[in-house]
Amino acid sequence: MKTTEMMETYPAEINLDRELLARAVETLVTCSQACTACADACLSEEMVAELRKCVRSNLDCADICDATARVLSRHTGYDANITRAQLQACVQACRSCGDECEQHAGMHEHCRVCAEACRSCEQACNELLAAIG
Amino acid sequence: MKTTEMMETYPAEINLDRELLARAVETLVTCSQACTACADACLSEEMVAELRKCVRSNLDCADICDATARVLSRHTGYDANITRAQLQACVQACRSCGDECEQHAGMHEHCRVCAEACRSCEQACNELLAAIG
Amino acid sequence: MKTTEMMETYPAEINLDRELLARAVETLVTCSQACTACADACLSEEMVAELRKCVRSNLDCADICDATARVLSRHTGYDANITRAQLQACVQACRSCGDECEQHAGMHEHCRVCAEACRSCEQACNELLAAIG
Amino acid sequence: MKTTEMMETYPAEINLDRELLARAVETLVTCSQACTACADACLSEEMVAELRKCVRSNLDCADICDATARVLSRHTGYDANITRAQLQACVQACRSCGDECEQHAGMHEHCRVCAEACRSCEQACNELLAAIG
Nearest CA-CA distance, residue A133 and chain C, Å: 34
Q: What is the pLDDT of residue A5?
A: 97
Residue A106's Cβ-count burial label (10 Å; 0-12, 13-18, 19+) is exposed
* Calpha distance D3→D117 (Å, rounded): 18
Nearest CA-CA distance, residue B46 and chain D, Å: 8
Per-residue pLDDT tens for C77-115?
A: 999 999 999 999 999 999 999 999 999 999 999 999 999
The sign of the torsion formed by the CA atoms of D119, D123, D124, D125 equals positive
Could you give the percent of chain A with pLDDT greater than 90? 98
Chain-wide mean pLDDT for chain A?
97
- If DSSP codes are grouped into helix, strand and coil, which group holds residue A133? coil
Contact residues on chain A for C55, CB-CB shorter than 8 A:
43, 55
Q: How far is CA B31 from each of CA A61, C117, D28, D37, D67, rounded to the nearest angstrom?
A: 22, 20, 27, 23, 21
CB atoms within 10 A of CB C50: 12
Kindly list the structural domains of chain D, giving each domain's residue range(s) and its CATH number in brackets, ordered by start.
17-132 (1.20.1270.360)
Q: Is it the case that residue C1 has pLDDT exceeding 90?
A: no
Which is nearest to A29 in space by CA: D6, B68, C95, B31?
D6
Q: What is the pLDDT of residue A50?
A: 98
ipTM of the complex: 0.98
Q: What is the pLDDT of residue D102?
A: 98
Per-residue pLDDT tens for A50-92?
A: 999 999 999 999 999 999 999 999 999 999 999 999 999 999 9
Q: Is it the case that residue C122 has pLDDT exceeding 90?
A: yes
- If DSSP codes are grouped into helix, strand and coil, which group holds residue C28? helix
Beta carbons within 8 Å of D25's beta carbon, 6+ residues apart: A33, D3, D7, D69, D72, D73
Contact residues on chain C for B29, CB-CB shorter than 8 A:
1, 29, 32-33
Which is nearest to D65 in space by CA: D42, D110, D97, D41?
D97
| Cβ within 8 Å, pair C60-D81 | no
* Calpha distance D10→A44 (Å, rounded): 8
Q: Is it the case that residue B91 has pLDDT exceeding 90?
A: yes
Q: What is the pLDDT of residue D1?
A: 86
* Calpha distance B37→B44 (Å, rounded): 11
Q: What is the pLDDT of residue A80?
A: 97
Indicate the residue of A39, A49, A59 with minimum beta-carbon distance to C48. Answer: A49
- If DSSP codes are grouped into helix, strand and coil, which group holds residue A108? coil
**Number of alpha helices (DSSP H) and beta strands (DSSP E) in chain C:** 5, 0
| Cβ within 8 Å, pair D53-C74 | no
Nearest CA-CA distance, residue D90 and chain A, Å: 18
Chain-wide mean pLDDT for chain C?
98
Rg (CA), chain C: 15
Q: What is the pLDDT of residue C117?
A: 98
Beta carbons within 8 Å of D33's beta carbon, 6+ residues apart: A1, A2, A3, A6, A25, A29, A69, A73, D62
Per-residue pLDDT tens for C13-61?
A: 999 999 999 999 999 999 999 999 999 999 999 999 999 999 999 999 9
* Calpha distance B53→B103 (Å, rounded): 11
Q: What is the pLDDT of residue A119?
A: 98
* Calpha distance B51→A36 (Å, rounded): 35
Long-range CB contact pairs, B16-25, < 8 A, 24+: B16/B128, B16/B131, B16/B132, B17/B131, B20/B127, B20/B128, B20/B131, B21/B72, B21/B128, B23/B124, B24/B72, B24/B124, B24/B125, B24/B127, B24/B128, B25/B69, B25/B72, B25/B73, B25/C33
pLDDT confidence band for B1 (50 / 70 / 90): confident
- Best of D33, D59, D64, D70 to substitute, by most chain B Cβ atoms within 10 angstroms, is D59
Per-residue pLDDT tens for B16-69?
A: 999 999 999 999 999 999 999 999 999 999 999 999 999 999 999 999 999 999
Mark out the alpha helices in chain D (DSSP H runs). Answer: 3-8, 18-44, 52-72, 80-103, 109-132
Q: Which helix (H) or strand (E) holds C6?
A: helix C3-9
- If DSSP codes are grouped into helix, strand and coil, which group holds residue B54? helix
Are D93 and D60 spatial neighbours (Cβ–Cβ below 8 Å)?
A: yes
Tens of pLDDT, residue by residue, chain D (133 residues): 899 999 999 999 999 999 999 999 999 999 999 999 999 999 999 999 999 999 999 999 999 999 999 999 999 999 999 999 999 999 999 999 999 999 999 999 999 999 999 999 999 999 999 999 9
Q: What is the pLDDT of residue C82?
A: 98
- Best of A30, A31, A33 to substitute, by most chain D Cβ atoms within 10 angstroms, is A33
Amino acid in position C40:
D
Are D36 and B44 spatial neighbours (Cβ–Cβ below 8 Å)?
A: no
Q: What is the pLDDT of residue A1?
A: 85
